[in-house]
Chain A
Amino acid sequence: MKTTVTIPKNRNRRSLSKTDRFTLTAFVGIPSLLQIILLWIPAVVTVILSFTYWNGINIKDIHWAGIQNYKNIFVNNPIFYQALKNNGIWLAFFLLVATPLGVLLAYQIDRGIKGHAFFESIYYLPVVLSLAVIGIIWNFMFQPGGFVQGIMGRDLAHALSIWGNPSINTWVILGVASWRHIGYIMLLYLSGLKSVDPALKEAAAIDGATEWEIFRKIILPTMQPVNIIILVITLIESLRAFDLVYIIYGSPTVFPLLNLLVFQNFAGQGISMKGAAYAVILLLLCIIPIITYLRVVFKEDLK
């Protein structure tokens, strides 16, 4: 028993010459070092900084704050709760509307309708645009003198403030964000759907199953890994949402989001370690989806 375990190990080691061992160390070492120095150490440092006071200017000025930064966030700080609420609305909207629409679109395009490759490209087009460009494009639609105002018969003098109106801006922002998200989900789902055997669908239909039953009982179970990945992507994208709103407003005052609060306190003018604490809160929220994702994609390896 003992020998059978040790033999492959020894062979593996013996076949490696000194040069080979050096090469392998470099192969693993250089990328790992880069990853650790640029990502993991800074992440840990940020967690530590979240327990300090510091204005981000002189390293000597750092001093211990305990959990005060977190207290300042949780107590008497309505913008944090507004941000949580907005991230929550974002998440709910993506989960209940945008992601299902992406899946529906994929399902319909997968029927092999005429010109499906063309439709696929059109729906995917917004995903290749940067959010800076998306912000400009939609600004043309909504700003005074823009398309939507024109349709509503409002000229420059009587323009509505769409971005500034708290009762509609949430939906407008979510709509624009979905414009990009739906295409992304569609393409991810579509690539999975191509592996589902169409004969299964046909057999079920002949047995009298409705379209919805086919989807629920055949497609969804077959697509299990993709379903979870899409769910995780939706969660993470909703929590990390930043670029679009930053481009439209430049600050978190009109439409607070967690990531905007991190940016404002951490990277904007007047740096404080409250930003680090916000970043840690964001990280904690992201951890469950990240672990779920890792467990799904490395299922076999983890066994």
Chain B
Amino acid sequence: MSAGVVQSEEYRNNQKRKDGFISIFIGIFAFVWIFPILWTVFTSLRPYNDVISYGIFSWPRHINFNNYVNAVKEMHIGIYLTNSLIVTVPSVILTLFFGSLIAFVVTRYQFKFNLWLLLLFTAGNMLPIVLTYIPVFWMFLWVGDQLGNRNLLYNNYAGLILVHVGFQVGFATFVLSSYMKTIPKEISESAKIDGANVFRHYWNVILPLLRPALAALSVLMSTWIYNEFFWALVLMSDDSKRPITSALRRLQGQYVTDFNLLAAGAIIAASPTVILFFVLRKQFIAGLTLGSTKG
């Protein structure tokens, strides 16, 4: 017994020494890891002329936010950020709403098609997205023409939102249904006995219980949709309607010589997701965990 305790203590001391050693390594590596981001922040705070006259490694003569002010003024970053917001917020809400509906039906009712439904949705999330591009593009134009406005879905926020919902709802369904399996069935039984109809059962009983999973997913989905690049590029022909991530590419071409201004633009574009991540880190990780290990 006492030998075991001594061994155990020895093991722990040994581990502590190793931990110290490893944390130094992980620390150094971590600095290397964020260095490119820090360098971009540093670049964004210096005027272009400073770099040209004194070189990139020179001690900065001026540190200010002029590049940020100019990025907003010249690059119209504000418009693109607003576009991102217009697209991201409804996409996330609709995705979670639809996902929770399917998850609710699949886990609370015994239909034969339940498993097929789950498979259909989950697999949909994993398709290579370009596969659907041409048909979706034509469908959007066709629907627009039928309703008398070609730009109803194509080159419009509504179309982009629909496409995002179509792609992300699979992941939301998968995560929410595995989360819902952990909610005791008795809760649903008593709701049914109390005479709640299906809608009340969903809205008043299940939805409040889903809140932690919905919170976690909404953070994760916001980042994914905000960062999405392909659809915004091909479905928005007017540059002024593009969300910030796809607008950045054009800005990169246009301001290729003024690194410092571009750096400020990139930092502004990155900040919403970075802030979201740091503020809601727990939700973020919970969202990924729910998705990867399943209950």
Contact = CB atoms under 8 A, between A and B. Distances in A.
20 contacts: A20-B197, A23-B197, A28-B105, A30-B101, A35-B121, A39-B124, A42-B132, A113-B19, A113-B20, A115-B23, A128-B227, A129-B37, A130-B269, A132-B229, A136-B266, A140-B43, A141-B39, A225-B293, A263-B130, A283-B131
A137 B266 contact: yes
B134 A129 contact: no
Contacts of A155: 55
Interface string A175-188: 00001000000011
B273 A187 contact: no
B183 interface: no
- Give the interface size class of chain A: 35 or more
Interface stretch (B61-69, B70-78, B161-169, B207-215): B161-169
Contact of A136 (B34, B167, B248): B248
Interface string B1-21: 000100110011001001110
A91 to B, nearest CB: 15
B128 A298 contact: no
Interface residues of B, number: 102
Contact of A131 (B101, B227, B252): B227
Interface of B: 4, 7-8, 11-12, 15, 18-20, 22-23, 25-27, 30, 33-34, 36-37, 39-40, 43, 51, 55-57, 98-99, 101-102, 104-105, 109-110, 115, 117-124, 126-136, 138-139, 162-163, 165-167, 169-170, 173-174, 178, 192, 197-199, 202, 223, 226-230, 234, 245-246, 248-249, 252, 259, 262-263, 266, 269-270, 273-274, 276-278, 281, 284-285, 288-289, 292-294
A147 B26 contact: no
Contacts of B129: 240
A251 to B, nearest CB: 13
Contacts of B278: 121
Interface stretch (A11-19, A71-79, A162-170): A11-19
B127 A43 contact: yes
Contacts of A302: 115
Contacts of B20: 113
A206 B8 contact: yes
A49 interface: yes
Contacts of B228: 130
A195 to B, nearest CB: 8
Contacts of B293: 191-192, 195, 225-226, 229
Nearest to A260: B130
Given A45-B135, A132-B229, A191-B285, 7 more contacts: A31-B99, A40-B120, A111-B18, A122-B30, A141-B36, A239-B128, A242-B130
A206 B39 CA distance: 45
B56 A283 contact: no
Report, nearest first, the 4 A-B pairs whose CB atoms are least far apart.
A38-B166, A42-B135, A130-B227, A42-B132
A276 B133 CA distance: 9
Task: Report which residue of B117, B128, B278 has the largest number of chain A beta carbons within 10 angstroms of its beta carbon.
Answer: B128
Given A113-B22, A191-B285, A140 B230 contact: no
A108 B22 contact: yes
Question: Considering residues B174, B245, B292, which has the most beta carbons from chain A within 10 angstroms of its beta carbon?
Answer: B292
Interface string A25-46: 0011011101101111111011
B126 A137 contact: no
A282 B131 contact: yes
